[in-house]
Structure 1
């Protein structure tokens, strides 16, 4: 890669260290197993029409993957540790410098579920209100007390800023999510944030990552002069300290929201910007693209997809 292209790709990759999103959600996406340097991109939407339509001249298709093994998310007064996270998107970079974000069909974010510390006892018990007190009285064991929190993607990320990825403290992208709270007593329809009014995370670099680059053959086998290029940005911390969190919805029997107010009261919701935070440690971000997109013109996106499929194990 030329120095200019390497710098440009590095900025793109840094910009999409989207793992910040991944606070608390189901992380073992079934994704396809891929060979060699393609391995991190097992959910990349290479067959999406927008990706396939990249011509290699006016626009270029790339894959981005970002993961983290640990971190934390604070919503109102509740703090939840995070497990493994996996965020993947496709990016179509246009000649005018703008970028389009393409989400996989199963959502941009997949992450491990996390237990809410204190469970239902910590979320809305004890209470002097009879209806809530009655529910609290039904907590007999860890099963009825346990609350599983899961972050879910509820739309395609937007507002991707290329240069922000090479900076610190500048929002990189906007990612709409909701947090699903699941417990036998409050039901399975309890959410913080909704599809129509999501929590919007705007991750930014808290520290610069380590940057490396390598090349591979079309199927991902490492090769110094291969056509498939991959950048690695590792060891960075990602965070967002500015997002707002709405009140709960759907909490209670039949998802009718009878306990919304109790959850909101105990958790300090809704919570304005400055109260909430998300932090992901030691993120591992990779960007995959063609080293010479012009050589595949006008079918860069189609060739890129063919390479991906050739790497399937």
Structure 2
């Protein structure tokens, strides 16, 4: 399972793979269930605070596109004053291509602290297990290929933890779970060879979500320039989804399993 780990990197002390099997991502007024595995993998310096070193030969974050409930009708609210051709095109796409997918794409390096996953701090220190800075790629023929919620300059920053959150209102605190440690191999005191954590739940409901942009940049044969088309369609997406959405109005819950192994053990298994 650790074949994509950068275990030959001298800075990498352990290999890690985390698979989210279920959960939910609520952004503004839109709630998307997580019903396909999301895999995060790579190398870490230790189970304490560490950057996640990118996987080699495979994706560091593999997040399959998720269907947005309601499709195009659920994510765009066309205004009556839209130009006639754009209005006609919208309903034509709804009739033929209503499905909209959302894909998480990392835009910054990931930061981890798996020690916090096992032992959520109670002293007021940062409880973050994984810090994800992402943008959400919305895809549909009507929306085009450049429709994103967030950007590299202004990402959605999710700080997942297994403890209890302290979000601003109207959200209320929610709790994750460290899960169950089912396997530990050790050769000497304080040295972890292999660690399996099942049914861990990572949560965050304190993050903000910026507005969508770049939507509708497709050739519809309309007598309208791209910036105006972008403003109309992106504005409709933001109105319907409720973006930008302030901290306290969004939620991420990710439940799954994690495996951590000493890079020395992984390297030995390859020889």
Distance apart, 1:85 and its partner CA: 1.1
Q: Which residue of 1 aligns with 2:262?
A: 289
Partner of 1:149: 102
> What is the root-mean-square deviation of aligned Cα atoms in Å?
2.8
Task: Give the whole-Å Cα distance in 2 for the aligned partners of 1:162 and 1:237.
Answer: 13
Q: Is the 8 A contact 2:73 2:94 kept in 1?
A: no
Name 1:211's counterpart in structure 2.
181
Matching of residue 133 in structure 1 with residue 87 in structure 2: yes
* Cα pair 1:125 1:133 within 8 Å, conserved: no
Partner residue, 2:152: 195
User: 8 Å contact 1:88–1:104 — kept in the other structure?
Assistant: yes
1:125 and 1:136 in contact (8 A); partners too: no
1:69 Cα offset (Å)? 1.7
1:123 aligns with 2:75: yes
Q: Is the 8 A contact 2:77 2:237 kept in 1?
A: no
Cα 1:107–1:156 shift into 2, 3 Å: farther
| Pick aligned residue for 1:61 from 13, 26, 48 | 13
Return the alpha-carbon distance in structure 2 between the equivalents of residues 280 and 104 of structure 1.
21
Give, in angstroms, the shift of residue 175 of structure 1. Answer: 1.3
Q: Conserved in 1, the CA contact under 8 Å of 2:42 and 2:60? A: yes
State TM-score, norm by structure 1: 0.67
Q: Which of 18, 22, 26 does residue 74 from structure 1 map onto?
A: 26
**RCO higher in 1 or 2 (8 Å CA, sep ≥ 6)?**
1
1:178 aligns with 2:135: yes
Task: Give the deviation of 1:204 after TM superposition.
Answer: 0.6
Quick one: structure 1 residues 192 and 278, their matched pair in 2 at CA, closer, same or farther if it must change by over 3 Å?
Answer: same
Report the secondary structure of 2:74's partner residue. Answer: helix
Distance between the aligned counterparts of 1:232 and 1:176, measured in 2? Answer: 26
2:216 corresponds to 1:252: yes
Instruction: Tell me whether 246-255 or 200-209 shows the greater mean CA deviation.
Output: 246-255
CA positional deviation for 1:98: 5.1
Change (3 A) 1:98 1:76: closer
SS in 1 for 2:193: strand
For normalisation by structure 2, the TM-score amounts to 0.77
How many residues are aligned here? Answer: 236
Given that 1:213 and 1:229 are in contact with CA atoms closer than 8 Å, whether structure 2 keeps it comes out as no
Identify which of 250, 254, 261 aligns with 2:235. Answer: 261
Match of 1:241 in 2: 205
Is the CA contact 1:233–1:284 (under 8 Å) kept in the aligned structure 2? yes
- Which is helix-richer, 1 or 2? 1
Q: Corresponding residue for 1:43?
A: 4
Structure 2: tracts of 5 or more residues without a match: 163-175, 219-225
1:274 lines up with 2:248 in the alignment: yes
How far off is 1:228 after superposition?
Answer: 8.6
Q: Does the 8 Å contact 1:168/1:208 carry over to 2?
A: no
Hey, what's the Cα distance between the residues in 2 that align with 1:164 and 1:306?
26
